[in-house]
Amino acid sequence: MIIKLSYVKRHLVAFLTIPLLLGLLFATVLPITGITGMTVVDDDETSEISESETTEVDKDETEEKNESETSEDEDDEDEDEDGIGDEEEEKNERALQIEASEKEVQIESELKNGENKDSIEIEFKVTDEPEIKVEYESENGSNEIELSFKVKFYSLIEYNDTNLDGIFNESEDDLVQELRLDTSHVEYLPISYSTELIGNTTIHIINAITTDGVFSLQFFIAEEFALVNGSLITPTEMKIDIGINDFPFINETSDLALKLRLEAEVEYENDEETEDEEGERATSEAEVEVTMNGFTGFFSWSENVLVDGNVMQVKASPVDDDHDSDFGEQKIYLNYPRGNKILHDPKIGVAGILQVAGVPLGTGTPGFEAIIVAFTIFIASVITIYRHRR
């Protein structure tokens, strides 16, 4: 077969470029994937391997595998039996500083380990309506506030569910009465602050309750992952127990809603799947979230509520603008079945900042997908240039 010299010249770029690029790919990818070479064994050499040697090899491999699994198990030890490995606990442990007075609590939570000592500041106060403010700072040299948002507990609403959708709608449902939760309409006992040791974890507990006992808020926060009343909380969030006791219903068939006001520089959005659900730390949750400067704050809640000792369903309205607010706030209604004792379980915090231990990419090789994508784009570019030159 005779190849013309002119043909070779015209296709010289392809002849040289493709093997060169393939060589670069294997030279880059193979070392980082741990594949350093291949050994080819002749058939004659293969036949010389005896059954005993094969058994010995299998035994050695089994022993190595068992040792590896044992090592991994040791790394995944869970001393406090909360379902979170000790390594992940250590990576996410935070230092808490709490200052409490009769009407206000200041909480500062700072990451203990790692270079980025990010800070979460939570302020709870009852100088007007009960209000939680969350601020997040990521220390990247500027110490600027990256995220700031508020949740206010505005009122309890008794209503007749005219359209039977289980959600209070101002324009369609019959408003029976509204019990405002601000200090001009109801009195609060002084805020109480205490700690409790659960296992080897210190839980910080804050209580605010009206003098008539109808409405109460109880907060739980810890420096590490902790199991509190059957719920697993992370160090980047605070658990809230909302209590409604002996609400003075007027109508015998009415329902109850808790109105929340939401304040931030950007709009809140509903989200049906929370970070705790994604991390398999919780089930049946929903939330509203707000994203600023690439960071996300959230107010989430269990979609189940305990009503007179029975587990029942909570329904939430979509986030909407509160036209009655002078500050451009938004609103949401948490709707509860009628009962004498209602206990609900929300959480508030910052999502996406947990330090996860030992999470590989899909191939188990950091950057592998990026290399493949870059290589594909490079090949396509070379082929395109080559075709244009032809």
pLDDT score at 363? 31
With beta carbons less than 8 A apart as the criterion, state whether 143 and 133 touch.
no
Q: Is 148 helix (H, G, I), strand (E, B) or coil?
A: strand
* Residue 160: partners with Cβ closer than 8 Å, 6 or more residues away: 173, 174, 176, 251, 253, 254, 255
Distances (CA, A) of 315 to 18, 272, 301: 60, 12, 10
pLDDT score at 362? 31
pLDDT score at 338? 95
Name residues of the chain where pLDDT drops below 70. Answer: 1-76, 80-82, 140-143, 357-390
With beta carbons less than 8 A apart as the criterion, state whether 322 and 331 touch.
yes
Query: What is the topology classification, in CATH, of domain 86-351?
Result: Beta-galactosidase; Chain A, domain 5 (2.70.98)
CA distance 163 to 157: 16
> Is beta strand 237-245 parallel, antiparallel or unpaired with respect to 346-351?
antiparallel
Q: Decide: pTM greater than 0.75.
A: no
pLDDT score at 26? 46
Q: Name the nearest CA neighbour of 347 among 275, 246, 270, 244.
A: 275
Give phi and psi for 102, each to the nearest 5.
-65, -30
Q: Name the nearest CA neighbour of 372 among 26, 31, 36, 37.
A: 26
CA distance 160 to 158: 7
The one-character DSSP state at 49 is: -
pLDDT score at 230? 87
pLDDT score at 4? 46
